[in-house]
Structure 1
Amino acid sequence: MAPRKNDNLEFEALKTAVAAGQPDRLYVFHGEERYLLENYLEQIRKCLTGTFSEFNYRRYEGQGLTADTLAAACDTLPAFAERTLIEVHDFDLFKGGEDAKQKLIALLSDLPDYACLIFVCDTIEWKPDGRQKLAEVIKKNARVVEFPVQEQSKVISWIKKHFASNGRTIDTPTAEHLAVLTGGLMTALNQEIEKVCDYTGERVITRAHLDAVVTPVLDAVVYKLTDHIAAGSFSAAAGVLYELFCMHEPPQLLIYSITLKLRQLLAARLCYERGLGEKDLMKLCAIRFEFQARNLLSSARKTTVPECRRAVLLSAETAHRMITVGDAEARLTELLIQLAENRRRARA
């Protein structure tokens, strides 16, 4: 899904400020793309603290941090530098008592020019409480920067650039396959690119190289499962189901992911029958990458609307039976058998 226009403006403002060596005084960083977030944090650290980080850089974890401690850190003058950097990780700004909130309002409304205060949401979700005055103060004074999964063209370009820096080349379809396998997140991509380059000395990276060493995310494996189901390749689907069992993910997560992908397959078939395209499917199902929508539409051409609807119902019934009967692996195996029978009847 494309980032919102406002988010783009905040991110572009951050890029400009960091490039000029003049970060703003107050930021909130959040979002899924941790690689990019950490990259900008590191750039700001180098920009502001230089060789005197022990004097001008302070990092705090949110748990147990008080507004008084934070205010004292922000009021500390820089040493041998123009500014100080204060990083605060996983501090829930909206959960403190009224006294703490008033102190935060006073602090964030009038930060010293020499301070740069960054709140980083690592594990907590950024959910400002618009009912509180503190939210208004943050909106007025802070740059709230989201680091979402990057759009398709940027991810593919980034993959090619990182392989090139290792003396390798990769074409667009193969780069798209790697993005699917990793979920498109740069942290995972960076690790997997290193693995692939260590695995093969060949200059041209192929899909076979990726499949040999890349550890796929759950979504990638479930997409492969639904591809086989749509094609009627149930022996191959059984092999993929075994892969899912070996991932040792919670059963509820498995059935949720399978049901979601079957619903996307149904949506793709409906789009196909109505003459709608990839972008329509992306918007309908909140799919991030165009090539994922393209692959879904390709799979949807091999099935029918009644077959897809029945598959979604069977998956939902399996989710219920996993709760009431138990033995998740047996229930998921039964689901695959039911889907095969559903396919046979649809083709009879």
Structure 2
Amino acid sequence: MPQIDPKALKAQLSKGELSNIYYIFGRNIPEVERLTKHIIKAAVGDNEDYALNKLNGKNLDFSELYDMMQMMPMMSEYNCILINDYNCEKPREVMTGLKAENLNKELLDTIKEIPSQTVIIFNITGFEIPVKSDYKSGKNIIKDKNKKLADYAAKVGTLIECPIKSENELAKDIASSVSARGSLISIDTASELAEMCQYDALTIRNEIEKLCAYAGKNEIKADILHQLVHRQSDMTFFKLADAVAVFNKRSAFEALDELMQDKENRGAVLANITASFIDMYRAACARKSGRQVNDVKEDFLYVWEFKVKNAFRDSSRMSINRLRECIKILRDTNITLNSGVGDEKIILEQAVTKMLMTKN
């Protein structure tokens, strides 16, 4: 079966059509996870405890996989195996004395004859697979070593890519999700919500739950968005972290003033500032251990590579001890904010001042 899109997969599953092998990847991680759950549900129903085996692709034992493939289903029609994050570029966390080509060949040899009662799902949620556009087919083609496994899945099973959706597609999905929960939202307001969440599917899903709980059966209008939704502003958080890193007091408070315009979500502002410093701390520790951007992105399941690159850049100007001190300051600030004592803006300004006073 050739490569299909998520909508076509859902249509197949609704008809009870199942392949013996699936390969699901793409930058829309929530959609990858959602489709994985749909396939598992179609294969084993409510009997996951008995008929589903989960394997870590980073340490895949091919003998164990082969034995699982031969098992007969228990209390369901199919025996289902989920293999998460097998990376043909680096099949093992430690590749000393091993070659990726040999391990990939062994995997393909293992899954060549999948029994009719077994469904294998390869899903990628922990790293990004590079793709290029194929103008003839209109689909994306994988550019690295993962292409061989994906092509095999397309040949004998089903291959699905879950790309980031366009603003218009997201707006329609948001309107549909809101409607399913008994509320209403216009396409224009849904588009604004997508933009406020920087088109991140997980953030959008969380905001929809909150908005529908607030609105009930009423329409979610723009004023409700502005009241309840925190506008994502990663570049401003990066600007603040960078200013603290180089002891630039003026730039730090300009960035904080910009962030504090969102008067209803100052707790979220602190959470995002803290996340920026945790990103830098991870990057600093990684650099000290000889690790690179891709290692951090994979180890901590970052979706966006630019966040890791910014963290590597900014953390180069701060010692690990100074980063620890800043994170402690932010932790204590969070406790103070949660206590409800004092003006939120003043508390955050005091936190930035304390961080600017730390030394490398």
Q: Mark yes or no: TM-score above 0.5.
A: yes
Q: Is the 8 A contact 1:182 1:220 kept in 2?
A: no
2:159 aligned with 1:144: yes
In the TM superposition, what are the counterparts of 1:104-253 in structure 2 within 5 Å? 104-126=107-129, 129-130=144-145, 137-138=152-153, 140-200=155-215, 203-218=218-233, 239-240=257-258, 246=270, 247-248=272-273, 250=276
Task: Specify the SS of the correspondent of 2:9.
Answer: helix
Deviations 1:263-317 (A, max 9, x none): xxxxxxxxxxxxxxxxxxxxxxxxxxxxxxxxxxxxxxxxxxxxxxxxxxxxxxx
Offset of residue 82 of structure 1: 2.5
Tell me the equivalent position of 1:57. 52
**Aligned partner (choices 68, 75, 82) of residue 73 of structure 1:** 68
Q: Is the 8 A contact 2:28 2:163 kept in 1?
A: yes
Task: Specify the SS of the correspondent of 1:60.
Answer: strand
Tell me the equivalent position of 1:102. 105
Q: Percent identity?
A: 21
Task: Specify the SS of the correspondent of 2:59.
Answer: coil
Offset of residue 81 of structure 1: 2.9
In 2, the alpha carbon distance for the partners of 1:36 and 1:135 equals 18
Instruction: Mark the runs of 5 or more structure 2 residues left unpaired by the alignment.
Output: 92-97, 131-141, 238-253, 262-267, 281-312, 320-360
When you count helix as a share of all residues, which structure comes out higher?
Answer: 1
2:83 aligned with 1:83: no
Please identify, of 189-198 and 130-139, the stretch whose mean Cα deviation from structure 2 is larger: 130-139
Tell me the equivalent position of 1:35. 30
Structure 2 vs 1, CA of residues 163 and 14 (structure 1 numbering), >3 Å: closer, same or farther? Answer: closer
Task: Specify the SS of the correspondent of 2:58.
Answer: coil
Residue type of the partner of 1:122?
T
In 2, the alpha carbon distance for the partners of 1:322 and 1:35 equals 29
Residue type of the partner of 1:120?
N
Q: Is the 8 A contact 2:27 2:128 kept in 1?
A: no
Tell me the equivalent position of 1:260. none
In 2, the alpha carbon distance for the partners of 1:76 and 1:85 equals 10
Residue type of the partner of 2:129?
W
Offset of residue 24 of structure 1: 1.1
Deviations 1:293-347 (A, max 9, x none): xxxxxxxxxxxxxxxxxxxxxxxxxxx9997899xxxxxxxxxxxxxxxxxxxxx
Task: Specify the SS of the correspondent of 1:24.
Answer: coil
Instruction: Mark the runs of 5 or more structure 1 residues left unpaired by the alignment.
Output: 1-5, 223-235, 255-319, 327-348
In 2, the alpha carbon distance for the partners of 1:321 and 1:46 equals 44
Residue type of the partner of 2:52?
Y
Residue type of the partner of 1:145?
I
- Relative to the length of structure 1, the TM-score reads 0.58
In 2, the alpha carbon distance for the partners of 1:68 and 1:106 equals 11
In 1, the alpha carbon distance for the partners of 2:146 and 2:33 equals 31
Q: CA RMSD in A?
A: 4.0
Q: Is the 8 A contact 2:32 2:124 kept in 1?
A: no
